Amino acid sequence: MKAIVYSESGASSVLSLAEREVAEPGPGEVRVRITVSGVNPTDWKARAAGVPFPEVVPNQDGAGIIDAVGDGVTGLQPGDRVWIYLAAHGRPTGTAQEFAVLPAERAVPLPEGIGFDVAASLGVPAMTAHRALTVHESGPARLAPGALADRTVLVQGGAGAVGHAAIQLAAWAGATVIATVSSDAKAELARAAGAHHIVRYPDDAEADRIREIAPDGVDHIVEVSPAQNAALDVEVAANHASIAYYANNNGEEITVPIVASFAKNIRWQGVLVYTEGEPAHQAAVKDITEALRDGALPVGEAAGLPLTWFELADTAAAHDAVEDGATGKVLIRVAAED
Ligand SMILES: NC(=O)c1ccc[n+]([C@@H]2O[C@H](COP(=O)([O-])OP(=O)(O)OC[C@H]3O[C@@H](n4cnc5c(N)ncnc54)[C@H](OP(=O)(O)O)[C@@H]3O)[C@@H](O)[C@H]2O)c1
């Protein structure tokens, strides 16, 4: 089978197309025939940071069809269409290959009628967004229609992949959703994803605009750039708000106004999809599956997430596109759909 591999870290030029044996699934594992591999910032960052195994196949997310199941696997069988999350977490091989072996719980059955483009876009973005919306002192721990009714969510960076998923999940759960964006084109995307209000950044009047929309403050903040937005977040936060920060875009340090922050009982909540724990993963998987059943997580430009496609052999270019900040989702076509 064809696989993209690297055995040294560095620029995308370390990636090469190779022929590898198809692996057998061990106990508790499944083998998936990959149709689409999804690319996230974590994939190029991991590639650039080091090589934890002698050889690595990149990419955490993907979609495909179960091809074989190992001993003890229940609830999955050959022929099932699945979406995949964290395929390469703690393991050497991800989804940039024709057949991937992974723990069974990381291959999730797709509801009827959901395409592999949607499926390969879920993983890291949707699970991160789910966690950011549900790890809260006084908010619901699970998402469902109505779960966030009467709550206001601010999504910083509404045209990003995680931001897009956060808008969709929050809107599905009944929240009033405010998204920040940096351009008119990204405003259109955030609106298409389901945001009710758009605020442009950078803008001196950003806090005023958000306060006009949410005079009582914002209950949940999904934050991609805490270094830039910490003071703004505190200013617009409601009492008992949670600021769920999941990235270090544009800065490594946060400066927080202390009194304003504790006076509102604000929770600064870190989110990392790799380490959040199995209960958080399973809650996300269940709620995302229900959102898929409701048709709440479409992709494509009309749904606010333009897709950019690459062939498997061009995985290096796909990594570069993500590193260069491609708007929307970068996907790799690994095999034709039957
Ligand atoms: N902690 C975790 O578990 C986790 C999970 C997923 C992703 N991440 C990290 O999260 C980041 C985003 O991932 P992604 O896949 O969503 O990337 P993406 O699609 O490139 O989105 C990043 C978005 O952030 C926006 N942004 C940048 N600075 C901003 C600011 N000051 N205010 C508001 N928005 C701002 C960008 O918009 P403009 O370009 O227009 O500014 C862009 O839309 C990456 O660093 C990634 O590694 C972490």
In a domain, 222, yes or no: yes
Last residue of some domain: 225, 243, 270? 270
Residues 6+ apart with CB under 8 A from 307: 117, 121, 299, 300, 301, 328, 329, 330, 331
Q: What is the mean pLDDT of each run of 10 residues along the chain (338 residues)?
A: 98 98 98 98 97 98 98 98 98 98 98 98 98 96 98 98 99 98 98 98 94 98 98 98 98 96 98 98 98 98 98 98 98 91
Q: Quick count: other Cβ atoms within 10 Å of Cβ 190?
A: 27
Distance 186 CA to ligand 1 centre (A): 13
Q: What is the pLDDT of residue 337?
A: 82
Whether 308 lines ligand 1, by a CB cut-off of 6 Å, is no
CB 244 within 8 A of CB 218: no
Residue 261 sits in a domain whose CATH number is 3.90.180.10
Determine the pLDDT at residue 338. Answer: 67
Q: Tell me, what's the pLDDT at 146? A: 98
Q: Do residues 91 and 161 both lie within one domain? A: no
Structural domains in the chain (count): 2
Q: Do 327 and 223 belong together in one domain?
A: no
Single pTM value for the model: 0.98
Q: Is residue 275 one of the residues assigned to a domain?
A: no
Q: Tell me: do 76 and 188 sit in the same domain.
A: no
Same domain, 130 and 202: yes
d(CA 302, CA 24): 40
Q: Is the CB of 268 under 6 A from ligand 1?
A: no
Last residue of a domain, which of 226, 247, 270? 270
If you measure from the C-alpha of residue 327 to the centroid of ligand 1, how many angstroms do you get, rounded to a whole number? 10
Residues 13 and 37 in one domain: yes
Q: Is residue 306 within 6 Å of ligand 1 at its C-beta?
A: no
Kind plus residue range of the DSSP H or E element containing 309: strand 307-311
Flag whether 221 is in a domain: yes
Say if residue 28 is in the same domain as residue 117.
yes
pLDDT of residue 60: 98
Q: Is 269 in the pocket of ligand 1 (CB under 6 A)?
A: no
Asked if the structure places residue 70 within a domain, the reply is yes
Tokens of 37: 């591999």
For residue 104, the 8-state DSSP code is G
Identify whether residues 190 and 261 lie together within a single domain: yes
In a domain, 300, yes or no: no
**The pLDDT value given to residue 203:** 87
Decide which of 255, 270, 285 is a domain's last residue.
270
- Domain residues for 147? 125-270
Same domain, 113 and 246: no
Looking at the structure, tell me whether residues 253 and 148 fall in a common domain.
yes
Residue 229, token pair as written in the block: 């937005």
Give the β-pairing of 237-245 and 99-103.
unpaired
CB-CB contact of 179 with 167 (8 Å): yes
Q: Which residues pair with 181 in a beta bridge?
A: 200
Asked if the structure places residue 28 within a domain, the reply is yes
Assess whether 258 and 205 both reside in one domain.
yes
Q: pLDDT digit string (tens) for 159-168?
A: 999 999 999 9
Within a domain: 296: no
The first and second tokens of residue 297, run together, are 């997580």
Q: Is residue 107 located within the same domain as residue 25? A: yes
- Ligand 1 atom having least distance to the Cα of 162: 16
> Cα of 157 to ligand 1 centre, how many Å?
6
Residue range 267-284, pLDDT digits in tens: 999 999 999 999 999 999
